A and B are shown apart, each in its own frame.
Chain A
Amino acid sequence: MSEKRDPNDRATWRVWQEGMSRRSFLRSAAFASLAGLSIFPLVEACGSSTAAQSYPAKFKLGNIFGLSGTPAAQGKQFQQGIELAVSDQNKKGGIDGIPIEAVYEDSQATPALAVTAAQKLINVEQVAVFTNVSSSPVLAVDPIADQYKVLQVTAAANSPRLINASKYFLASVPNSTFEVQVGLTLAQKHFKFSKAAFIYRNDDLGNGVKDFFTNFWAKAGGQLLTVQSHEPTQADFTTLASKVAAAAPEFIYITSASATQGLLVKQLRQAGATMPIISGVGLAVTELFSVAGDASKDCYWTSPSSSLNPSAFSAFSSEYQAAYPGATLSTFTSQHYDVANAIFAAAIAVKKAGQPLDGAHIRDAMLAHGTFLGVQGPFTPHADGSCTRAEDIDTSINHQSTTFLTAKQVQDQGIYDFGLT
């Protein structure tokens, strides 16, 4: 491809008085080309493209997580779930005889690094499917997944803007609006509350949920007494907490997902906001219990149901403790364990059908499979990037996450119909 120089550029520059010599331009262009090409040998030395074949010697599952910097703590939890799933499936024969290997790339939860990570997974590691987390990196990678027809799956990103963003994107977790819907109906039908306060983090998740929350609660006949936001890195919530306490709502709904939530809950209680707090699964970070301590009482959050497959969840908990002694099992770990197993199940179906193990066929197989039963209960990915998942309501008792209402009870009480029989 070539591009002509725009003659108007010359007039634009007062400093461009003598005109650029052809030689200097060619030197610049030549260097630019060489600099671009110089990295090829480096990459070439690190891998090689193989001739196209239906079934590779290894089934590689790519994973783009934040493995350094602030998101590293959660990244570790995601990674543990994937590692356990790969280990378990390999013991069962992998993908119908093909061993599985998990490949990780560190995106630091930034879009630019996620793009290069996706390119590496697709073009160097030759993956047909990869997991990704955080909405911005997922959105940045969407065009690449569509271009190469490689399946991108998330077990963590749940911003409303992910719906219908890409054909090659599936989720194993419900969209955050789904959590809000269940949480607000819980407040209305179970607790008989009508006066709410809403706190959201000023990020894609919080802003995405804010409009939905406002509309849904208004249609449900509820009163919204105050709406407060905080920055993602904020640690001092005293002003915000005082305003919420002064509004005297019957309950507080929090949409957030970060390690500072323990501090937020603690400072709300200290400011006198002792009413129940309702949230999505993002509230259930370990810091809720370790930092908020007793202040975590009377907090309720929706959580992928572990009550619908108790034996599997119990076995997984034991396996986790054996693999990572002393660590606390996170919902995010379980969800990644589940999503990896769902991918493996779809890949096995593709292989048994004699089809190529590519992103398109694995996507179709996941959608055709319908509902997967994981250790965190059943979930159904949909083609538009949404997911239906039965949710428990959990609460904090003795600084530990405990089931308050099972998904079946949530359904029986008319809070939400998950379609459970």
Chain B
Amino acid sequence: MEYYALSVAAFVGIYVILATSYDLLMGYAGMFSIAHGAFYGVGSYAVALVLLREHVAFVPALIFGFLFTTGVGYLVGWQATRLAGDYLIVASLVFAFIVNALMLNLTDVTRGTMGLPGIPPPEIFGNVLSDPISQVVVIWVTAAICGSVVWRIVHSPYGRVLRSIRDDPAAASASGKYVLQYKRAIFALSAGLAGVAGGLYATYVQFIDPNSFVLDTSFLILIAVILGGRGTFWGPVVGATFVWVLPQAMTFLPLQPDSIGPVEQIAYGVIILLILRFRPQGLVGTLRRSRTQLMVSGPEASGPHA
């Protein structure tokens, strides 16, 4: 039974990387992109291809996946970061379509819809980590490393600049910050971390195809960030855990065979809607606000100020 839990934990770990890296972009820098799932796919294919064709070791492959996706992110961000609001959404959507089309049609490289089977599991210092426990440890250690990178950034002066760009780009620019350069860098870094998540996914599932990186993936990442609380470090972590664990918990509901699936999906949707309705700042965001209010105003403030 624990192996099933480990499987869920593995996907939670992968989505924690995706959500925290996406929060860098949306929560801290204020850029609303829906191409994160596409970068996840780019990294996944990059790692899978160097593992399958070049037979490089796992860690170099993962680093290559990171660097390659960072490069792609920087190229895309070069122009995309000049856009804002609706225009950035449209540009990122177009990029996601292009990536999907390339995955489908670059058949000599990606095998198109046939996908890439037989991707080897992680191998570190000559040890093939094919057992579930080792794989989950690899994923969570990588998630911790990625998380610490994000933590370091958002708690540094660089993070404060990002927040100032999000809140008032004109003021940030007026204070001497090269806004565009900051946006490009964070766009590329966010994409690179998504690429790392993609590499972990490829080596965990050992099979990838274009269907694994459709727009739904980007939306799931978006939901994780908003549910958890954007612009907070722990929010995306909680959100990613939530969007993976809740549907799995739903599968334990004692449902009739013909209602499995639809009822689970409806219940899942209703819970998310309720959270968005009653905790619009997200799970962690709301908690932070409540605690701050309590500290500033004291317990007596709960009445008139609530």
Q: Interface residues, chain A, CB within 8 Å of chain B?
A: 1-3, 5-6, 9, 13-18, 20, 24-25, 28-29, 31-33, 35-40, 42-44, 46-49, 65-69, 72, 75-76, 79, 83, 102, 104-106, 110-112, 115-116, 119-120, 122-124, 136, 139-140, 142-143, 147, 159, 161, 165, 202-204, 206-208
Contact = CB atoms under 8 A, between A and B. Distances in A.
15 contacts: A36-B6, A37-B9, A39-B5, A47-B1, A68-B261, A68-B262, A110-B212, A119-B4, A123-B4, A124-B4, A143-B207, A147-B130, A161-B115, A204-B115, A207-B114
Contact of B141 (A18, A29, A208): A29
A17 to B, nearest CB: 7
Interface stretch (B27-35, B47-55, B145-153, B275-283): B145-153
A282 to B, nearest CB: 15
Contacts of A47: 1, 252
Given A36-B9, A67-B261, A79-B258, A120 B4 contact: yes
B171 interface: no
Contact of B7 (A32, A44, A119): A119
Contact of A111 (B129, B148, B151, B211): B211
Contacts of B137: 1
Contact of A115 (B7, B59, B136): B7
A49 B3 CA distance: 11
Interface centre among A3, A40, A75, A202 (most CB of B within 10 A): A3
B12 interface: yes
A18 B151 CA distance: 13
B104 A35 contact: no
B298 interface: no
A43 B136 CA distance: 17
Interface centre among B63, B104, B113 (most CB of A within 10 A): B113
Contacts of B129: 1
Given A48-B1, A116-B7, A36 B114 contact: no
A40 B5 contact: yes
A173 B141 CA distance: 43
B134 interface: yes
Interface string B135-173: 011101101110111011101101000000000000000
Contacts of B158: 15
Given A32-B13, A136-B209, A147-B130, A1 B258 contact: no
B71 interface: no
Contacts of A68: 261-262, 264-265
Interface centre among A28, A48, A165 (most CB of B within 10 A): A28
A123 B1 contact: yes
Contacts, number: 193
Given A31-B237, A32-B141, 12 more contacts: A6-B63, A15-B185, A36-B13, A46-B252, A68-B265, A106-B264, A111-B208, A112-B201, A112-B212, A124-B4, A204-B113, A204-B209
User: Top 4 nearest A-B pairs by Cβ distance?
Assistant: A67-B261, A119-B7, A68-B261, A123-B4
A25 B134 CA distance: 20
Given A35-B12, A68-B262, A75-B261, A25 B148 contact: yes
Contact of B211 (A36, A69, A72, A110): A110
Interface residues of B, number: 68
Given A32-B13, A36-B12, A42-B249, A104 B144 contact: no
Contact of A32 (B3, B140, B205, B258): B140
Contact of A16 (B143, B149, B205): B149
B148 A112 contact: no
Contacts of A111: 205, 207-209, 211-212
Contacts of B128: none
Contact of A142 (B124, B134, B207): B207
Nearest to B248: A116
A29 B241 CA distance: 16
B117 A106 contact: no
Majority secondary structure of chain B interface residues (helix, strand, loop or mixed): helix
B79 interface: no
Interface centre among B185, B234, B237, B251 (most CB of A within 10 A): B251
Contacts of B206: 140, 143
A149 B140 CA distance: 27
Contact of A24 (B104, B148, B245, B264): B148
Interface centre among B59, B130, B151 (most CB of A within 10 A): B151
Contacts of A207: 107, 112-114
Nearest to A45: B252
Nearest to A143: B206
A307 to B, nearest CB: 31
B2 interface: yes
A104 B256 CA distance: 10
B72 interface: no
Contacts of B156: 15, 17-18
A72 B265 CA distance: 12
B137 to A, nearest CB: 5
A24 B262 contact: no
A79 B251 CA distance: 16
Interface in B258-273: 258, 260-262, 264-265
B140 A36 contact: yes
A403 B241 CA distance: 52
A21 to B, nearest CB: 9
B130 A28 contact: no
Nearest to B255: A104
B13 to A, nearest CB: 7
B16 interface: yes
Interface string B172-190: 0000000000000100010
B239 to A, nearest CB: 12
A76 B8 CA distance: 26
B205 to A, nearest CB: 5
Contacts of A20: 148, 151-152
B257 interface: yes
B235 to A, nearest CB: 13
A3 B141 CA distance: 8
A136 B185 CA distance: 36
Contacts of B124: 3
B257 A102 contact: yes
Given A28-B144, A32-B13, A35-B241, A79 B257 contact: yes
B134 A5 contact: no
Contacts of B74: none
Nearest to B116: A139
